[in-house]
Each structure stands twice: as structure tokens, then as C-alpha cells.
Structure 1
Amino acid sequence: MHSSVMAATFSIRPQEGVSSRRSCHSTAAAPQPRIIRCNPWRWQQHDERRRHSCRLQCRQQAQQNESESDNRLTQNTGIFQPSIWGDFFLGYSNPAASSSQKQMAERADKLKEEVAGIIASSNFSTLPERLSIIDTLERLCLDHLFEHEIDAALHQIVAADVRDYDLGTVALWFCLLRKHRYKVSSDVFLRFKDEEGGFLADNPTDLLGLFNAAHMMTHGETILDEVIPYTRRRLEMMSPYLEGSLAREVKSALEIPHPRRVRIYDMKYYISAYEKDATVNDKVLLLAKLNSNIMQLQYQHELSIVTRWWEDFQVESRLPFVRDRVVESYLWMLGVYFEPHYSRGRIILAMLTAIIGLLDDIYDSYGTPKECEIFTKCIESWDTDGAHDLPECMKFALRKILDSYETIANMLHEEEKYRMSFLRQCIEEQVRLFNIEVKMLQEGYIPNSIEEHLKVSLRSVGTPFLACASFVGMNYIATKDCFDWVSSLPKMVQALSIILRLLDDLQSYEREQLIPHVASTIDSYMKEHNVSIEVARENIYILKEESWKDVNSEWLNLDNAYPKQLLERIFNLTRTMEFMYNQEDNFTNCHNIKDTIHMLLVEPFTIPN
């Protein structure tokens, strides 16, 4: 990596002084939520003989109904790529890593004490060095181990006078503080403007820092509105001439700016890049590798649970119209919370994401309008009594959804059971909205404006469901008031929903033209303004960027009194949308993210003795 980038990004020097800290992989103050309660993982106790018998039974049932449903089951062949993972994670864990898990945890705990001393000693360092320490820990996904130390450092950093610092330092100061909900003023960049309306930044490192910082903008920040096109244009011009890690940093930022990137997806790259940096601190590097391997083992265990649940859910050819995306769903939700103590939340959210995908495929690709109406009424009544006119596979899906809700309820403590009523309201609304879209498709109706379109699609896109669901597996910090708030579709959730709706439409429009599909926001924009698809795309993209300002504004709004940990789930959900719909629909075209999955969830680091 370019030396100046590394100096600004990864410079951590060893310091003296160690203080007593909690264990490397324990929660700070909150008790660990119990995941297993009332034996919810019943499927883990199924023997292979019973599973084989179930598969045979389901295969025979599918064959009996083949003449009735075969045409529908094959009409969309080739539209969806099959997942490459199957049951790979059902019992997988890397032998080299799992055999030394206890020793890794013990080494990590000792190193954590020493790195905590480095952070404490940084109070006597220069501002650029202190900023670099925090930025490095965040890029290496170590910051959750040092929350108190980082909060204390930021409390001092926010009061720093940055008038005499260079652009790179000011940009990092601004970006880090806004990422931590400090609403520092964008006026700090005024002195870097030149007389021609550009900015006093000639090297790609400063331009990159300014470009990234500007993406934490809110409405009305004119100078940041000017920064983005200027820095993007300059970086695009320089990009072909850059080399090494700097070239990669610029390319990645131009695709997805750093404040919008999902940190856990980039973690292993940054660990490898840090290892090559001249300022590398060996203790930080070793802790990063140990922490990565320890978290990977936990992720593999969670994936085995979710994969077993999905295998029982799908059971061979019983649901052949469904995109098998359970591993991809887990990766998606890992971006919402990667920290070890959110294990229960990840499992629940991955299950519910897969259920949303199942429902989307039922309403979008398989069910007839009549069947979708029946299915909707069954979900609303929360029983299967009215399902006798549904195809067997839809009956099976209905039963498994109800069973899965019971499984999730068994994962909650008694005092948390009320959360299931919010989840039930969410899925009931979800199927009602899906059913409205089925009727819109049947009638060939195109909403007359973006505003009319979003009245339905803002909720039907599934993110209000996911925002609520992301709270369900969290500990006591998610109170009933928080669920009332997130279920009311607050502005931050609205912005999240608009961003996903527009991203999905931008990346899926051509594919969805291959099959009958409900009108997209692009169709509505063309109808409302009588413009070409190219013009519609450009303006949909602008609307998406405006919605990001809403997300940032709500994140920085200190009148929003709900806990930062909960707001961060919504912010992270928004970040994952940018990743999953970057350049194309990566969730549907799942081969695009197989390397990310393999690197993050399969390959461990080699740890020196």
C-alpha cells in the first residue's frame, strides 16, 4: 500500500503500560443472552434414518403433484442461480482452528490487555496518531473489544482544534467522529477550497479521505455536496495510474464509499494489508488474526444451526421454486452485527431473512393470484385451516413458517416473549403487501408517480420487517418502547427502505423484464415524467443518494433517544444493501459473493506459535 496511506491508516506503535481489562470475548456489562432454551434446536437431535425417511416421503409427494405443478416449477428455470454451498456448513469447522480454540482465546485475552495499554498511551500522542489507532482498530474489526477505551479517546478528540492540520487529518477526524454520532461541523473544510471552486488536494490520499468524509453528509451541507463530484472526478482520473493497495482503496471507495462499506466483509483484506505496512504493530496484528479465527469458528457453528433449519425447511424438492440462499442470508445479516455477543440475533435474523426470500418467491414467481390470496389469509389468521386449496409445497411452506416462529419464540426469555407479537404483525403486513403487488401485476398497473409507488413498495421491500427483526435477538437494551418505535416506520427505517427499493430496481430491472413482474420505481418515474429509461435511472440514483442523507441525519440526531446499539443495526442494514446491490443483484446472483463467503467463513489465518 502507498506509504502515505498506510501512515494515515495503520500506524500503531507499541507503548508501555497495561491495565486490567475484561476477557477478549465477553460482553462489557450486559449478561450474555442464552441461546438454547426449552430445547429449541430440535432438528439437531434428528437421526439420519428419520431424515432419510422424510426425504423419501417428500420426494414421493412431490411426484404425486408433478402433473399439477410441474409447469410452474420449471417456468423460471435459469432465472435464479443455484447456491454453491448446499449443506457445506452443516457440520463444518476448520480442524486446524478448532483444535486450538481454547489456546487462541487465552492468547487473545493476553494480547487484548497489551493493546488496551497502547490505546491508553495514545492520549499522549499527536492527533493524527490517535485518529490512526482508532481507524486501524475499526478496519481490523477489533474495536468491539475496546469500546470504553475508544469512547474515552473520542471524547477528547472531538474537542481538538483542527485548524492547523492537513486535509487528510481533518477528513479522518470528521469521518470518525460522525461515524460515532458526533455532529461536527462541515465548515472545517472551507479553508481547503480554492478560488476556482475546487479543493486544495493534489494527492490521491487526501482526495480519498475527503471523498469518504463527504459521504457522512446531511441535508443542506453545500460544501460536501461540492466535494463529492469534485473528488470523484479527480480520483477517477488518477485511478488508472495508481498501484498496489492505494489503487484498491480508491477502486473500492468509488464503488462504495468507506463510511457505507460493511466492515466485516473487508476485515481480512485489511488484516493482510496491515501485515505488509511498515508501521505494523505485531501485537495488534496477532490479535486481529486470533480474533478473526475465533469469530470464524463461532460463525461456522451458527451457520450449521441455520443450515440445518433450512434443510428441514426445504427438504429436497419440496420447495423447488425457492432460491436456496440460506448461507447468503447469513452473510447478509452478519453485516448487521458481527460482534460475538450478538450470536442469537444473527441466527434469528438469518432465519427471518430466508423466510422473507421464501415469501418473495411464492408471491413473485410461483403462486397464482387465488393461491396468494388464500396464503395471505392463512398467515393473517395464523393457522393452516384454510390451506386445503393450496398446492402441497405452499402448504408445507405455511406450516414451516408457523413452526419457525415457534422455534424463535423458544429462543427468547420469558420476559422477551412479547417481541413475537411484533414479528407476527410484521409478517402479516408483509404478505398483505406482497398480495397487493400480485394484484397490481395482474392488472398491469403502473403507479403514476414515485410517491404513489413507495406507499406500497417502501414497506413491501421487507426492510421494515428486517429492522424490527434485528432487535428481536438483542438483550435487555431492546425494550417494548424500542419495538413500538421501529414498528412505526420512523424516518431512518423509511430511508433504509427507499434505498433498498431503489437499489433493487436499479440492479434488477433488466432481469425482471424476462418474467412478468410488478412495476418498478423506474417504470413509475418514466410514466410520471415521460422520460427515457436512462434519465429515469439517473434520477432514481439521485433519490437514493438523498435518502442516504436522511440516514445520516437520523444517525446524528441526538434528539433520537433510542440506544445507539439499536440505531446502528438500522445503519448497518443500510450498508449491507449497498453491498448486496453493488453493480448487480448479488443476493440473486449469489456466485458474485462466493469469494467473500469463502474468505470470511471458511479460510482461517495461520497463527504463528
Structure 2
Amino acid sequence: MESSKTLLICPTRDHTSAASTEHESNIMRLRNMLTAKGEDPFEAMEIIDAIQRLCIDHHFRYEMEEILQKLYQQCSRYQYYGHGLREVALCFRLLRQAGHHVSAENAFSGIRDENGRFRGEFQYDVEGLIELFEASQLSTEGEKTLEDGRDFAVNQLTKLCSAEESHRGRVIMNVLNQPSHKSLSRLTVNRFISMTSDDGENKWLQPLLQVAKIDFDMLKALHQDEISKTLKWWRELSLTKELKKARDQPLKWYTWSMAVLQDPGLSEIRLDLVKPISFVYIIDDIFDIYGGIDELTIFTQVMERWDRDEDNLVEKLPNYMKVCLEALDVVTMEISLKVHKKHGWNPINSLRKSWARLFKAFLVEAKWFESGYLPSKEEYIENGRVSSGVPLVLLHLFFMLGEETTKEKVQLTDESNPLIVSSAATILRLCDDFGSAKDENQDEYDGSYMECYMKQHQGSTIEEARAHSLQMISNAWKRLNEECLDPNPFSGSSFAKACLNVARTVPLMYTYDDDHRLPGLDDYLKSLMLDHA
């Protein structure tokens, strides 16, 4: 890779006013160029793709929305999605990413033969095959065209890789193992740069790379400041004094928040979101490591009531549980007051109910474990979605973002566990079960979905259980994709993007190596915090 295209070599630490002015001028020039290119939306697709891949889309959100809306209208009117495999697949992917419900059948009709198969002339079109594979990752349930497209692309790309050992082959295998749609964008930036040819024709490429370099340096400084504030908050909370065996991982908890909310402008929300995430982990450890069933039952009953002053049950709890509940009360109240002040809606009752649901789900699992009961796979996954903590964290985030906080949307998010949330929760729960390592301080394994499956399907093997779980994860991704498209209630929102990012973050947090470490998490932190990656 040429040095001029290396994104993660940062500029000098001290940004002069002249450098800042030049940065803003570059952004403005690129906006004007994008607007001009937008007169022909097909011309602008390459630039939009590069902007998104370089994680600088927050600078060009309005311009991109206008162009993609125009592109969607043209495609819908004329049923034309571009020329050649790569352009058609790129068009389809960009429109779906923007929330437009584009028909795969219509989009790829010109790329398939009379029997519905992808035409053989594309079998050596590496760029087109890669783009087809990437587009197939946005499939929804029942889309055979995209399933066929994925199989065609994987088969052809695998053959091409096996035919030669080269940089291109390694890049292709990396794409197949880590598709962009199911990965955090920061993890695929350098791969995108290595695949982008700078032949001088694309005069927008170097200005985009320069904006991305400066943005990265600013983002790194911002995240370092947020980490410092998170560590200070956690230290001052002092829960580790009472809970010495519980996980003490504020950097990992902050990483969840940083990965889910990638827009630099959402710093305050990132810092607030770390707090419920931290408590999910701590309370999980209380149920797994500390409490007996009787204590945990009272712990859950107290959480359901929330009125501590008139509740004698609190006095029956050990001190570490009391301290935890008091701290949780304070954090929940602080978040509720902030949301009310900013968005005019007080979420205190909704947040309290969500904590009660989480406690009850943890208690169910504790009772299963204590009694040796192995539930049906349906029981397990229904309870597991709640105990994953995903619905609770995303409910907090929904209120923090304040996007169209209407009575109908609050009711949908608070009471019915919408598909966009439950799909992300399913992905986390099942991927958690695939983790090969124990949590740091736990002495036993919890029951897993695969165990429940094998109990229900006598004679089945662990390989069959794993295959079934992987299919469940694939189906959950398809439902999540569907919920991000019009006319579903959260399509095109920051909340929808956050739900996707929850699912994208899961592999970092639950893919252990043989040393019980999380190499993906380490790589992600290095890519954001170090000068070189």
C-alpha cells in the first residue's frame, strides 16, 4: 500500500487554526463537488461509497440523503439500476443501506440469464463479485435472488483465491470472512483503502483521504477524553470495593458504547450509555457469582417495587446488593432527568420496568442452573433475549437519542420488544453461546442454546446444533435488515444504525482465542487509539 494512502498516519498533534480552516475548506469543496456530481446520481455512487467506508459520512449526511433519494426515484421509475455487475450491486447496496426497500428481483434482473442464474460472463469479474457478495449481506427473509447471488459470488471468489497466492487473494478472503455490512466500519477502513486504486482519475479521492486522516486524529483525541471521563466515573462509583469478584472492565464497557454510537457528535450520549451497560455486567455477576437463590429472589422483588423507603425487604439484602441498587437508582434518575430536560419526555417508569425485566430474566436463569433444569430451546431464547441486556440498553439509547419520541413509539419500544431490538438480542445471545472461554471469574459454564437444542432433538450432534444456531443467527440478521427498511418505524434513524452496530460489535466481544482473549476487541481498540494500525 502506498504511503500517501495510509489513513492511520496522524498529522501533528497541535492543530493550528490554519490547519483547521483548511480541513473545513476541504469538506466544503467536497460537499460542493458531491452536490454537482449528484446531478447524475450514478456518478456520485463511488464517492458516497468511499465517504461511508472512510467513516466521514457525518460531514456529508444531507448531500448523500438527497442524492440517494434521487437515485431511488430514478431506479423505481425506470427499473434501471446501473450497467454491469459491480454498478448494479453497488447501487442496490447503497439504497438498502439508506433504508430504501429496493426489490432484489428487479435490481438484478439484467444480470441473470433466462433461467434466473447469474450470467457466466461475470465469473471472473472480481470487483463485481466482491460487490455482489457485499450486497447479499443486506438480504431479508425469503430473498432467493440474494441467496443465489451470495453463493455465486462466494464460489467464484473462492476459486479465484485458490488459484493464486497474492495480496488480492488475501483481500478477497478478508472480505468473505468479514463483510462490510456485518462489521464495524472502523475495522474495514484500511482494507477499503488497499482495494482503491489511485490512478489520478478520481480527483476526489485524495481530498477524502486527507479529511479522513484529520478526522481520525480528532476522533482519537475525543475517545481518549471519553475514556478518561468513563474511568473517573467508574472509580468514583466505588462499586468494586463491595464487589471484588465482579468484572472490573470499564474500558470494555466503554467500547460497547463507542462502537454502537460512532457519530463524533454523540459524545455525551456515549458517556451516558456506558452507565447502564456497566450495570448490566455487574448485576449479571451478582446473579452468577454472589447471590443464593433466596437472596436473588428478594433482590428481584425489591427491583420490581423501586420504592425503597417503604420496603422492609431491602433490609434483608446483603450490603453489596444495597449499594448496587442505590447506585443504580442514582444513575437511572440522572439519565431520566437529562432526557426529560432535553427531549421533554420523562422515561423513568419505562427504564425502571426494563431493569425489573432484566432482573427477572437473570433470576430465571439462576433458578434453571440451581435446579439443573435444561429448558426447551424456545424457552431459552425467549428469556435469553432479555438477559442479553440488549433490550434494556437500547431502550435507554432510544430515549437518549430522542428521535420522534411519540407515545406510539415509546409503547412499541418499551412494551412489545420490537423486532429491530429482539433480532440484535438474538444475535448476541447465540454468539455468546459460541464463545469458547469462560467469563473471567466464573467457575461454571451456563447452559447454552446448543445444549437445549440437543436435548430436544435426541441423537443430534454438536455439529448439527452449531449449524442450527448459525442459521438462527443468519435469520436474525435478515430480520434486522428488514426492520431497517421503509416503511418500518425505525428505518433510516440513528436508532436503527445503533441496533445494527450492536450486532456488528458482538463478534468483538464474544470471539475468544485459545488463550481466552478477545483478539477482535484488541484490534478494534488499536485501530482507534494508536497512531498506526
- Judge same fold: TM > 0.5, yes or no: yes
- TM-aligned CA distance change 1:412 to 1:163, over 3 Å: closer
Normalising by structure 1, report the TM-score.
Answer: 0.76
Of 347, 350, 367, the residue aligned with 2:291 is 367
2:58 counterpart (140, 144, 162): 144
Residue identity in the other structure for 1:138: Q
Counterpart-to-counterpart distance in 2, 1:419 and 1:103 = 44
Alignment partner of 1:543 out of 469, 472, 475? 472
Contact 2:234 2:250 survives alignment (8 Å):
yes
With a CA cutoff of 8 Å and minimum separation of 6, indicate the structure with the bigger relative contact order. 1
- Of 19, 24, 34 in structure 2, the residue corresponding to residue 109 of structure 1 is 24
Residue 389 of structure 1 and its aligned partner are, at CA, apart by: 4.5
Supply the AA of the counterpart residue of 2:363.
N
* Counterpart residue number, 2:324: 397
Cα-to-partner distance string for 1:253-301 (whole Å, 9 max, x where unaligned): 3223221221134346656776977646332221111122222222222
Please tell me whether residue 529 in structure 1 is matched to residue 457 in structure 2.
yes
Deviations 1:26-48 (A, max 9, x none): xxxxxxxxxxxxxxxxxxxxxxx
User: How far apart, CA to CA, are the structure 2 residues paired with 1:573 and 1:131?
Assistant: 27
Query: Displacement of 1:407 after TM fit?
Result: 3.4
Structure 2 match to 1:350: 274
TM-score (norm 2): 0.85
Give the letter aligned to residue 223 of structure 1. Answer: T
Q: 1:95 to 1:267 in 2, by over 3 A?
A: closer
2:33 pairs with 1:118: yes
| Residues 509 and 518, structure 2, Cα contact 8 Å, conserved in 1 | no
Q: Indicate the residue corresponding to 1:226 in structure 2.
A: 148
Contact 2:260 2:502 in 1 (8 A): yes
Change (3 A) 1:523 1:204: same
How far is the alpha carbon of 1:314 from its aligned partner? 4.2
Q: Distance in 1 between matches of 2:293 and 2:478?
A: 38
Distance across 2 between alignment mates of 1:136 and 1:153: 15
How far apart are the structure 2 equivalents of 1:563 and 1:484?
20
- Residue pairs, 1:171-570, within 5 angstroms: 171-187=89-105, 188-193=107-112, 197=117, 199-200=119-120, 201-240=123-162, 241=164, 243-244=166-167, 246-247=168-169, 249-267=171-189, 270=192, 279=202, 281-314=205-238, 317-382=241-306, 383=308, 386-414=313-341, 416=344, 418-448=346-376, 450-475=377-402, 477-487=404-414, 488-508=416-436, 515-530=443-458, 531-560=460-489, 564-570=493-499
> How far apart in 2 are the matches of 1:289 and 1:363?
45
Could you tell me how far 1:209 is from its partner in structure 2? 1.0
Report Cα offsets for 1:116-154 as digits up to 9, x if no partner: 122022135682x42110000001111111111111211
Distance (whole Å) between structure 1 residues aligned to residue 170 and residue 502 of structure 2: 24
Matches within 5 A, 1:555-594: 555-560=484-489, 564-581=493-510, 583-584=511-512, 589-590=517-518, 592-594=520-522
CA deviations 1:318-370 (Å, max 9, x no partner) are 42222222212222222222112222221122221111111111112332222
Give the aligned partner of residue 20 of structure 1.
Answer: none
Cα offset, 1:503, TM superposition: 1.4
Following superposition, the deviation at residue 224 of structure 1 comes to 1.4
Q: Secondary structure at the match of 1:411?
A: helix
What secondary structure sits across from 1:412 in the alignment? helix
Whichever residue aligns with residue 283 of structure 1, its letter is: P
Q: CA deviation at 1:536?
A: 0.5
Asked if structure 2 preserves the Cα contact closer than 8 Å seen for 1:190 and 1:223, the reply is no
Query: Take 1:207 and 1:600, find their aligned partners in 2: how far apart are those partners?
Result: 30
Q: 1:466-522: per-residue Cα shift (whole Å, max 9, x none)? A: 22122232246444433222122112222222121111112248879x843442111
CA separation in 1, counterparts of 2:21 and 2:488?
Answer: 42
**Structure 1 CA distance for aligned equivalents of residues 488 and 319 of structure 2:** 51
**Deviation, structure 1 residue 461:** 1.5
1:177-198 Cα offsets, whole Å, 9 max, x none, are 1111112221232443466956
Is contact 1:264–1:335 with CA below 8 Å preserved after alignment? no
For 1:508-548, what per-residue CA distance to the aligned partner results, in whole angstroms no more than 9, with x for missing partners? 48879x84344211111111112111110001101111121
- Contact conserved, 1:218 with 1:550, CA < 8 A, in 2? yes
1:557, 1:585 → 2: CA distance?
A: 39
Is 1:599 the equivalent of 2:527?
Answer: yes
Cα gap change, 1:271/1:351 in structure 2, threshold over 3 Å: closer, same or farther? farther
Q: Please tell me whether the aligned partners of residues 319 and 393 of structure 1 are also in contact (alpha carbons under 8 angstroms).
A: yes
Match in the other structure for 1:71: none
**1:49-78 per-position Cα deviation (integer Å, ceiling 9, x unaligned):** xxxxxxxxxxxxxxxxxxxxxxxxxxxxxx
**Number of paired residues?**
509
1:310–1:326: 8 Å Cα contact kept in structure 2? yes
* Separation in 1, partners of 2:240, 2:141: 50
CA positional deviation for 1:599: 2.6
Partner residue in 2 for 1:135: 49
State the distance in 2 between where 1:390 and 1:341 align: 41
For the 8 Å contact 1:434–1:460, the answer to whether it is kept is: yes
The alpha-carbon deviation at position 171 of structure 1 amounts to 0.8
**Amino acid across the alignment from 1:473:** M
Give the CA deviation at 1:413: 4.4
2:80 equivalent to 1:157 = no
Per the TM alignment, residue 248 of structure 1 is displaced from its structure 2 partner at its CA by: 5.0
Q: Is the 8 A contact 2:280 2:389 kept in 1?
A: yes
The amino acid of 1:284's aligned partner reads: L
Instruction: List per-residue Cα deviations over 1:83-134 (Å, max 9, x = no partner).
Output: xxxxxxxxxxx9953x42765543322211111122022135682x421100
Relative to 1, partners in 2 of residues 1:253 and 1:282: Cα closer, same or farther, differing over 3 Å? closer
TM-aligned CA deviation for residue 317 of structure 1: 4.7
- Identify if the C-alpha distance between structure 1 residues 277 and 470 changes in structure 2 by more than 3 Å, giving closer, same or farther: farther
Percent identical among aligned pairs is 25
Give the alignment partner of residue 85 of structure 2, picking from 164, 167, 170. 167
Q: Contact 1:104–1:290 (CA<8 Å) still a contact in 2?
A: no
- SS of 1:556's equivalent in the other structure is coil
Question: Where does 1:13-28 land on structure 2 (aligned, <5 Å)?
Answer: none
